[in-house]
Chain A
Amino acid sequence: MAEPIYRYVWRHTRRQQIWMLCVVLASIPTLYVSLDLPKQIINGPIQGEGFENADATLAVLRLALPGFLTGGEGVELFGGFQLDRMEALFALSSLFLALVVLNGGFKFYLNIYKGRLGERMLRRLRFEMVDRLLRFPQKQFRSLRSPEVASMIKDELEPVGGFIGDAIVQPLYLMSQVLTAMIFIFVQSVPLGLVALGVTLVQAVVIPKMRQRLLVLGRQRQLTARHLSGRIGEIIDGITSVHTNDTSNYERASISKELGTIFLIRFDIYRWKFFVKFLNNFLSQATPFIFYMFGGYFAIRGSLDIGQLVAVIAAYRELPAPLKDLIDWDLARLDVAVKYDQVVQQFDVADIAPETLQAPTAGPVPRLTGDFDLNDVSLADELGSQLLDGVSLILPLGQRVAAVGAVGQGAEYLAEILARLSLPSGGEVRLAGQPLSGYPESVTGRRLAYTDAAPFYPQSTLRDALLYPLKRYPTRTESREASRRERLARMETEVSGNSTLDPRDDWIDYDAVGAATEQALGREIAAVLRIVQLDSDVQRFGLRTRIPTEYQSRVADPILRARRAFRSLLAREGMEGYVEPFDPDRFLVNASILENIVFGVSRMGDMEAAWTLMGGHARAVIGEAGLREPLFAIGREIAETMIDIFGDLEPGSPLLRRIVIMRSDELDDYRQILMRTEGRALTEMAEADRVALFRLALNYIEPRHRLGLVDAALQARIIEARRLFQRNATPDVTSAVAFYEGGAFNPFATIQDNVLFGRISEEFAGATERVEERLLQTLDELGLSELVQKAGLSFEIGSGAKRLSLGQQQKLSLARAILKSPDYLIANRSLSVLDAETQGQIIAATLERAREAKRPFGTFWVVNVSDHAALFDRTVRFRNGRTVEEPAAEPLADERPAQVA
């Protein structure tokens, strides 16, 4: 792809460029005629030339071949219409209008056509860059800064795409306009033509020179801006080390320095830009002066008629715009060529994988049989130290192998080589009789599975994260050809050379999992989640999720049955004290005051948002129930206590994280609010202060915050407020909140709230675990655990899976490796953060699955705890980058601790 931009443009847009040239050629005659017409109008009908006799007529639209073509007299093709003076004026003026419209039409058509071409090329370029990124060799990623690459594809390619539409046609089109006008002027008057030519030459030569400087500055600006975005990215990624080392001020200083550099460059650009503009404007506006003076002189002397003078001035007015565009175009060309080269160079990486390696492959890939055959494999790092030193091994694909060795002794490097994440610097790796490097990813990516200790997950649901490895090729396509929009989108995708596979199709490879239906897939997922001990986590996520809409009508009754069954189970086990039931006449101790007043669930999932929406009604209810003063007092009390407790801690103290009821950075705000509101009546306070104090009060939960602020009298008032809130609910309120109703299923509440229909007491130790366990048991007995799992899988794991613990992330990574039913599983210290016992259990369960006759797989499992090697068929020990004869006689001295905090 490292070809010059013009070759690239020509290769992809040859036909379109030629077509545009034809359009440009077709536009020249109309332009010329439209320049010539004003002269005819002024000289003819207006000044009366040729109309000296009252009944004289003028031939309009007369067509003739010029004399020089035919030799001698011109040949008349069409005699034209004979019109009198007034008729001729109207006809010629109308013709002029028609030509103006036609010229505009040409311009419009060309602009749209170029725009579309440019957008297509931008799409193609961006796609090609990402395509290449996907084929980069693994080692390339160590030196890549992701925000920089992203900004290259996003921002820097944009002008390149826009330019491509203009690349060839724009200069020719503009030149044709300039030349037409220039020739026209010369035809009218040679001296005036020379003046116009002179000024034009000055503009065309001097101004680009000055703009060169601008270009250089622009490039500097781009480089510094890119650097800045890289720096910001680094700050975000390294925020922990900023906080733990008090280096925030160093970061501030370095950003300030960068911004200073950018400022100077930008200001320089600014000055040059406006100077050039000034000069340009001056030249183009001063020239008419020459025309008025000299043109007027010639006209008075009679060597130029008025029509010609007006036409020359009009034609000259046509000149600056295309000329300026032409200069701009030339600058853009230089600028874009530089940008294009920079980007293309970045993406022109040596030993990029050939396209065939990742070619989309439909249908199943046959199982691999045989073994991994490693012959004298070695690996050196960038500094040349041997990480692996002459390893020769035969790893049968059906064999479960444990690799043992302390970190850095070589096992993990070999795992990466087997997974093709790094290439050996010496020796040969063969898989099933062929070199490993020759396999397309459709084989290695489907038949081998790899999992390590630091999996990455993009923002998605748990289900999508789990099924990601199964998305290789659409398995069930939907026909969307019906709509015009879809057809257009598809056509555009094809002409831009993008992937025509549609991510909206069902990509899940059900066959690979061995599941024919959605339900069977659910069962397979359940089995795998059990193996990695993620099942109860998922079930617990499910409890806290709403029931997916498509199941709601079906499960309302079973859920209500579960509610009753659960109640009696609690009673049988004497656990009623653990749950505080939803009762419209009872204050919920384990809920915030806000939840007590609203006594329902937000239909949009976020109670605070719903509350703001219901502002007016909520205020009225609080006032009517006489809660305004008490809530305000509670808010003040909370703020005072928090400032009393936490106010003296120095900023950044880890103890500040434990405020919970407000954010630690709000302490100062509240300190000020308290001062402002001291001794004032509610009505005298600023609205914002009132809201802030109410917010504290509304989020207060007695057993959690324990400030003793809610007494029986207040509880009674809150119950009263609850009644008013529900009775007088406006349509706004009912559309924002679904109230709890005894004996009814609430589709907006979580599964847990629906079955529990109450709150778990925060007071009792272990209440949550015990109650959840009973809940799951009840749901399971009623056959609802599948539903709970489904709901749990819809859990949003957050960007980078921040909402999962590291242990859960590692388990998930193993789960999806097993789910894809590989022939061989390479696990690279993949469960490192779990305790040794759990690791052992998960390994044992995985190996049991690996031995199932239905879809057996072998392993190369780099274990964290050497004792676990006993669970495998065979053990390979690593020391100093070499394999040690097995079984090893001596235990490893520096074994990595089982548990890493």
Chain B
Amino acid sequence: MSHLATEVEVLRRVPLFQGLDPPKLKLLAFTASAMRFRPQEVIFRQGSPSDSAYVILAGEAAVEIDTPAGAIEIARLGETDFVGEIGVLADVPRSATVRAMSDLKTLRIGKECLIEHLQHFPSMSLVMLREIAMRLNRTTAELARQRAEAES
């Protein structure tokens, strides 16, 4: 069983929410719903509508992509990882499938709820914007490195 207090503890360590003051995290946690998944259960499936984002509170999950050759695992997620937010923000279908690899505890933040938070707390939007920009920066750098490798 998870409690608001422990959930706030985890949220505080989520990079996307770094720098948000505790009352806002508490509000976010309370308006989200706690959701448990069993091992091998699918949290969301590639191609389905993005209706919510998840914060992993405890346990492990795998990110899989469907290919003609079958599903390929491309990443592992653990405590404090935030997943599904890009689909919600960009309003595009899920780009990958996420599957629980152990008993998985999450906080599910509905699309509307997340957007209401962002609208209400500009500081939150700013933090998220910075984090996503950093990710883009890393991805671009990675892409450049890969290209350079491929060319040489």
Query: Which positions in A face B, CB cutoff 8 Å?
Result: 589, 641, 644-646, 648-649, 653-655, 658, 702-708, 763-766
Contact = CB atoms under 8 A, between A and B. Distances in A.
Given A654-B120, A655-B117, A707-B4, 18 more contacts: A641-B4, A645-B26, A649-B120, A653-B120, A655-B116, A655-B120, A658-B31, A702-B1, A703-B34, A706-B2, A706-B4, A706-B30, A708-B3, A763-B1, A764-B35, A765-B36, A765-B37, A765-B106
Interface string B1-21: 111110100000000000000
B27 interface: yes
B38 interface: yes
Contact of A765 (B1, B30, B35, B120): B35
A653 B41 CA distance: 36
A644 B23 contact: yes
B148 to A, nearest CB: 42
Interface residues of B, number: 26
Given A658-B113, A766-B41, A708 B34 contact: no
B27 A645 contact: yes
A707 B1 CA distance: 11
Interface of B: 1-5, 7, 23, 26-27, 29-31, 33-38, 41, 43, 106, 108, 113, 116-117, 120
Contacts of A589: 1
A645 B30 contact: yes
Nearest to B117: A655
Contacts of A763: 1, 34-36
A764 B36 contact: yes
24 contacts: A644-B26, A645-B26, A645-B30, A648-B23, A649-B120, A654-B116, A655-B27, A655-B117, A655-B120, A658-B31, A658-B113, A706-B34, A707-B3, A707-B4, A708-B4, A763-B1, A763-B34, A763-B36, A764-B38, A765-B35, A765-B36, A765-B37, A765-B41, A765-B43
A641 B36 CA distance: 24
A707 B29 CA distance: 11
Nearest to A763: B36
A704 B34 CA distance: 8
Given A645-B26, A655-B117, A765-B41, A708 B36 contact: no
A655 to B, nearest CB: 5
Which of A645, A648, A704, A766 counts the most chain B CB atoms within 10 A? A645
Nearest to B22: A644
B69 to A, nearest CB: 27
Contacts of A646: 27
Contacts of B1: 589, 702-703, 706, 763
A674 B106 CA distance: 33
Nearest to A761: B36
B134 to A, nearest CB: 27
A434 to B, nearest CB: 49
Contacts of B37: 764-765
A645 B23 contact: yes
Contacts of A705: 30
Contact of B7 (A654, A655, A706): A706
Contacts of B29: 706
Contacts of A644: 23, 26
Nearest to B31: A658
Nearest to B44: A765
Which of A646, A653, A654, A765 counts the most chain B CB atoms within 10 A? A765
Nearest to A646: B27
Contacts of B106: 765
Contacts of B2: 706
A240 B117 CA distance: 21
Contacts of A645: 23, 26-27, 30
Nearest to B106: A765
Contacts of B4: 641, 706-708
Nearest to B112: A654
Contacts of B113: 655, 658
A706 B3 contact: yes
Nearest to A658: B31
Which of A641, A653, A702, A708 counts the most chain B CB atoms within 10 A? A708
Contacts of A707: 3-4
Contacts of B31: 655, 658
Nearest to B119: A654
A731 to B, nearest CB: 39
Contacts of B120: 649, 653-655
A803 B129 CA distance: 38
A492 B48 CA distance: 63
Contacts of B27: 645-646, 655
Nearest to A578: B38
A655 B4 CA distance: 17
A178 B61 CA distance: 99
Contacts of A765: 35-37, 41, 43, 106, 108
A648 B23 CA distance: 10
Contacts of B34: 703, 706, 763
A766 B27 CA distance: 24
Nearest to B26: A645
A310 B116 CA distance: 88
Which of A641, A707, A763 counts the most chain B CB atoms within 10 A? A763
Contacts of B43: 765
Contacts of B108: 765
A615 B27 CA distance: 34
A706 B43 CA distance: 21
B66 to A, nearest CB: 19
The 8 A-B residue pairs whose C-beta atoms are closest, nearest first, are: A708-B3, A658-B31, A765-B35, A706-B4, A763-B36, A654-B116, A645-B27, A764-B36
B33 to A, nearest CB: 8
A702 B2 CA distance: 10
Nearest to B38: A764
A773 B26 CA distance: 35
A765 B36 CA distance: 6
Nearest to A709: B3
B1 to A, nearest CB: 7
A707 B30 CA distance: 9
A653 B31 CA distance: 13
A658 B30 contact: yes
Nearest to B115: A654
A654 B108 CA distance: 18
Which of B27, B30, B35, B41 counts the most chain A CB atoms within 10 A? B30
Nearest to B7: A706
Contacts of A641: 4
A656 B41 CA distance: 33
A649 B26 CA distance: 13
Nearest to A766: B41
A644 B5 CA distance: 13
A649 B7 CA distance: 21
B26 to A, nearest CB: 5
Contacts of A702: 1
Contacts of B41: 765-766
Contacts of B23: 644-645, 648
A703 B30 CA distance: 11
A316 to B, nearest CB: 80
A227 B66 CA distance: 63
Contacts of B5: 708
A829 B121 CA distance: 39
A648 B27 CA distance: 11
Which of B27, B29, B43, B106 counts the most chain A CB atoms within 10 A? B27
A126 to B, nearest CB: 47
A653 B5 CA distance: 24
Contacts of B33: 704
A263 B31 CA distance: 47
B38 to A, nearest CB: 7
A16 to B, nearest CB: 65
A764 B30 CA distance: 17
A655 B35 CA distance: 20
A645 B120 CA distance: 14
B46 to A, nearest CB: 16
B19 to A, nearest CB: 18
